[in-house]
Structures are given as structure tokens and as C-alpha cells.
Structure 1
Amino acid sequence: MEMLLKTHSQRKKHLRLAEIIATMVEFWGIFVVFSACAAIQLTESRIQHAYRPTSLSASDELSDISNSISDSSKDDSASSSLLQGNMFVDTSVASSDSAQETQRVEHSTVAESTESSVESTTPSTTTPKIRLSLSERREELSVFTDNLMTEYSKHYVGKTRDVIKKIIVELETSTEKSDDLEERLIAIKATLKELDAFDIESDDLDDASDIVHELNDVLDEPVNEPPEMVAALKKVGWLDMRHKLYDETVAILDKFGKAFNQFVATLSPWERLTEAGLVELSKRFNKDKTVDQWDLFDEFWTYFQ
């Protein structure tokens, strides 16, 4: 038993000694590595020092370092000043824009508020359009057409009368008048007297228009007229006057046609049945030529008697 204990004790000593030796070996290994690194670092430092200029003293080196630090601080200061300046400009512009935008928003809000208050206090002037009855629409079309015809009748009678007066003046200036010319002059004067009996602005000119119509049939193609009459008609511009009146009829027919079509377009299906005659007349009016359209006026009025 004692042998075993002694053997065990010796083993523990051996193990302890082995641990101490291992620790020492590890320590010296680290020390050797550290010494090697320090030697390498020292060698590199000496090499760098060997290549530096020998003319620079320690004070020069300190001066260079100080200048370098000073320049760096100046650059940083300038950069900082420039940055601050730019930030100041941008901030002021942004602030101005923001203020203007705020003013615009406030102004817009005030304007909208004012408009709203005006609209709320002002009564609405827009009223829905009431559909006219059939009789009212017929009356509108009748009055519109009558006004067109009345205005044209004034020109038809008045312009013809003015030209007749000029014809009479031309015929009376002839020194030698043939019997045919004397007869035509008397007839022209009688026609002028009849037309002068009408008040162009206030009278009904239907009868006056009939007189002019008969005269036109004779003078538009004066094949049987004396030479003096033919010359007088050309000189006073009889045909020019007739062409101008024709242009007026074209304009009147265009206005009447639009109003007539508009009236037909307002008719309901039931009204189209009751106004079948006018609907058919509208179709014929749109197809006929100008001369035929003018003749349709007589038929048009038969639906308004």
C-alpha cells in the first residue's frame, strides 16, 4: 500500500514538473517571436531614416507638420464657410418661396371664401328653359319668316322705285322722242306714281311688290323696247340692281331654311302627325333649287291662315 502511495506521489511530481517545463517553453517561444518582430520593426525604421533628407532639422520637421495642420484647418474652414454660405442662400430662397406660396394659398382661400359668400348671398339667375307649346313654336316661325319677307319687300320695292326715277330722267333728256318712247315714258311715270303711293316703312307692300313684278317681266328682257329705253336701262344699272336683289333672296332662303328645319326638329312624333303638311313641305324645300324655294313661300303661308 505504501508503495502504491509513493508511486502515485512520484507520478504527481513528474506531471507537475512536466507542466512547469511546458509553461516555460511556451513563454520563451512567445518571447522569441516578440523579439524577432521588434528587431524587424527597428530595421525598417533605420532604413526609412536613412532615405530622409539630411538637410531638414527637427525644428523644420515640426514646422512642416505645423504648416500642414494649419493649411488643413484653413481648407476645412473655407469649405465650411462656403457650405454655410450656400446653405444660407438656399435657405433664404426656400424661405421666400415658402412665404410666397403661403401668401398664394391664403389669397386663394380668401378669394374662394369671398366667391362662396357671394354665391350664397346672390340669388340664382339661371332658370330652366321651358319648352314652348306647338302653337307658340308655330308663331315664332311665322313671325320670323314674316320679318324676313317684310325686310326684303322694302328693298324690292324701294330699290326698283329709285332706279325707275333714274330711267325717267334719262328718257326725258332725249331731244327727239319717238312715239314708242313717248308711250313707254308715260307708262313708266304711271308706274312710279303708283309706287310713290306706298309708304315703304309702314305700309303693306304686297300690292307694290305685284306692280314691281309686272314691271320686271318687261324690263329684264327689253326685246320690244325702244333703243333709248334699252340704253337708259344699261346706264342706270337696272340689271345690277336686279342681281343684288337676287343675292338678298339667296340669303333670306338660307335663314328661312335653317329656322324651318329647326322647327321640324322640335316636333314630337305625335306633332309630326298633326303637322304632316309642314314636314313634307320642309323636305321639298331642302331638295328644290333657289328659284323653286322662293315659290314655296306662297304654299308655306297656307299653313298659317
Structure 2
Amino acid sequence: MGEKKGFFRKLVSGLSKTRDNIISGIDSIFTGSSNIDEDFYEELEELLIMADLGINTTTAILEDLKQKVKELKIKEPKECKDLLISSIKGQMEVKESQYEFEDKKSVVLLIGVNGVGKTTSVGKLAGQLKDKGKKVMVAAADTFRAGAIEQLTEWAHRAGVDIIAQQEGSDPAAVVYDAVMAAKSRNTDILICDTAGRLHNKKNLMEELRKINRIIDKEYPEAYRETLVVLDGTTGQNALAQAKQFNEVAEITGIVLTKLDGTAKGGIAIAIQSELGIPVKYIGIGESIDDLQKFNADDFVNALFDEGE
């Protein structure tokens, strides 16, 4: 419980830029407006869009809010704040069943452009699963980025898990093949694969991911499959655009949102989930191994509004 509480405080601190960006403005709307009218909703809409919730998500939240205001016959703007918070939470629920891969023999692919914290997320996830008593292996299939293999090797040592790697520049699919063979022979619970992130060359990336997926399908068909796209929270709407593009080339089952501690655009976590229907499963707010945590909508929105635990 202490660890969870510590993470919540980090989350509150990490979302401070986003909070400063929107919440003070939202509070002033709730306390400064005399009526719940079109002007009130327009000001709210502007602030939510500024926080990178995006137009579609903001519209959905405001429609839900208007409905609740009408049903509950609310007249005072200040009474709307809790309703707004619950409307935002309603856009982003993650069910416990979304983490099924943890309890099955599984292969987890992490995809995403370079620089988003993909390799670091592989290492952190591996360490956390190992701490839960799982037998974990990582595969260094990002063979193109200079230093990626060394970086993952360092994380594997830190986490105390096996790593399968080849030389820089080697065929990523060959690395995954070796890793699948090793995972099966060593009775590994979870194989986590780091992959290259060259979205600007989408055709090559698509072919590469298809090849990797074919190998896993052929050699390890019984494995549960999880594909997580890693996105940098500081990039706001650009992260949403990346998620859409990756969703075209791979069957994404979840999102890892990193660097939330440095962004004024934390609302993107809400937008991604609402717009794509793909759950944000993990969030990162720091460098240490414990700074990647399962996403909890209640905690996230409470931290955004600093509503306490």
C-alpha cells in the first residue's frame, strides 16, 4: 500500500504542469460563473482541448456532463466539478482482465518510435514481472538503433532476467525466432520483445512487424499475445497520431504512456483511450524501475485534479 501511495504522490507531482495548465482555469469557471449556460460549457470546452483531450473526447465528456446536470437538476456551476471528474473517468476505464498476459505463457511486443522510452519500458516491465515470481526473458529485436542492445542488456542484468540478442544491424525477426526457441526450451512465462521504431518508413516497419508476428504465430501459436505501443506523453496530440498509425500496422492491445512527469499535455491519456478504444495500461513518471505502473483511471484523474486518494 505504501508503494501505491508513493506512486500516487509522484503522479500528483508529475501532473503538476498539466494541472497548472487547466485545473486552475477549470476551478475559476466553476467558482466564477453564475450560470450553467452555453458560455460556461464553451469555456470548459476550450480548457479541456488545451489540455490535449482533443475535440472528440471533450465533446463526449461535455455531452455526458450536460446529461447529468439535466437529470440531477443542478443549477450551481460549483456543483459540476465532481460530475466533470466522473465524466472524465467514464472515458477511460481499464479492466483487470486487460492484464491477462501476466498469468499466461505469453509474448509481449513493445513497439513505438525511437526516443519514447521503449527499451526502458521493456526493462522496467521485465523487472516488475520478475518480482512477481514470473520467469521472464527479453529479446533485443531493436537491432537498428545504436546502443539499444547495450541498453537492454543493462536493464536485463538490473532486473535479473535472461536476454536474447545478436549483433547490431542483424535481422530483428531472427532475434525473435531465437528468443521464442529459448523461451520455450527454458519454460519461460513471459517473453518481452523490444522492436525497432521507424515510423517514418512505415512500409519497412510494417513488413518487419508482420515477419515477427508470422514467426511467433508459427513457432509459438499457443502463446498469449500482447502488443503494447509506447508513446511519449510530452508530445500530446502527436502521440495520438502515432498510436493511430501503429494501430494500422499492428493489432495493438494496450498503450504505455511515458514521461508524464514532464508534460503539460497529460490529458492525452484520456484522449487516446477515448478516441481509439485502446486502453492505456501503463504509465511512466520517472526513471526508476518502480516508476512504470499499471494505469488506474481513478488515481489518474484524482491526481490531475489533486483530489487526494
Q: Which has the higher helix share?
A: 1
Q: Which has the higher strand share?
A: 2
TM-score range, shorter chain: under 0.3
TM-score, length of structure 2 as denominator length? 0.18
TM-score, length of structure 1 as denominator length? 0.18
